[in-house]
Amino acid sequence: MELQRRGAETTDMTTSSPPPFGRALCAMITPFTEDGLLDLDGAQALAERLVTDGCEGLVLSGTTGESPTTTDDEKAELVRAVVEAVGGRAAVVAGVGTSDTRHTIELAQEAEKAGADGLLVVSPYYSKPPQEALQAHFREIADASGLPLALYDIPGRTATRIEPETMLRLAAHPRIVAVKDCAYDLLGTQKVLARTDLAYYTGCEEFTLPLYAVGGTGYISTVANAAPRQLRGILDAFDTGDTAEAARRQRQAIPLIELMMASGLPGTVTAKALLGALGLPAGPVRAPLRPAGRETVDGLLAAYERLVAA
């Protein structure tokens, strides 16, 4: 798959490059065996299903992929396995972000060796670096490999916002090409969209259509683990010019989105619960996460079935 560079700040948005990783990306869970080991066969089977059902890219070892509890070796093994399964048909983006710049660089270089097409780098969490330090962190990582890089802005988890002015400066780096946007600041996002060619992917499924309608690129979705066709349908309807149908599909997906992403449980837990109920590769979550209860699973399954039948 040829990945396109999206580059520096510009005020002319009349033409734009193709999305660097496609439009419809899944933040893929990391399947484990029942005894908690990495399930590479399951990962390949799930990746195959997701790509067949409309995912144009897979993001591995993000929060949904339980990156805090997988080892560096497991992360590299997962990239190799998924590239073997779907490489060339979908972009494989490796989550490599940590609180340590040096460690993040090591993970980025290992992901490149393993065959990843791109990197997802979250802001350093807990340490709360100032904006100047944040810029240096991302630039050092972008300089350390030849892969295009997506910034992950999720201040609700990291306690540090990538401020719009910082985004504008980072957009000048030739390998910083995209953003996974979980900042819940549509105004700030539009300011950056208006002045750069960064590809903006929402990481909040309730914003799939709103962000796409103002020039966003698409989504990186946890819910897509279970309902890839249904989320892809929102983008497809909008692209045909049928905005009413796109809005209808967005509204239809909201009950499942709410149960998976706003029920008080991490999306990893709800995604694995639903995939398991559907007989798809998932396995348990790793501690400190705990599995969803029966009532939660039944609710997820009912919402999923209503969405698929709609």
Neighbours of 309 (CB within 10 A): 6
Query: Is 152 noted as a catalytic residue in this protein?
Result: yes
The one catalytic residue among 113, 126, 128, 152:
152
64: annotated binding-site residue? yes
105: annotated binding-site residue? no
Radius of gyration for the chain, computed over Cα atoms and rounded to the nearest angstrom: 18
Query: Is 55 exposed, middle or buried (CB count within 10 Å of its CB: 0-12, 13-18, 19+)?
Result: buried
**One-letter amino acid of 205:** E
**One-letter amino acid of 174:** P
Contact predicate 94/132, CB 8 Å: no
Tokens of 248: 């209808």
The one catalytic residue among 126, 128, 180, 272:
180
List all residues 6 or more positions away from 120 whose beta carbon is below 8 Å from its beta carbon: 59, 62, 93, 94, 95, 96, 97, 149, 150, 152, 180, 220
Closest CA to 27 of 95, 83, 73, 79: 95
- H-assigned helices in the chain: 40-52, 72-86, 101-114, 131-144, 155-158, 164-170, 186-195, 208-213, 228-239, 243-261, 267-277, 294-309
Residue stretches of the annotated binding site for pyruvate: 64, 220
Question: Which residues are documented as binding site?
Answer: 64, 220
- Catalytic residue list: 152, 180
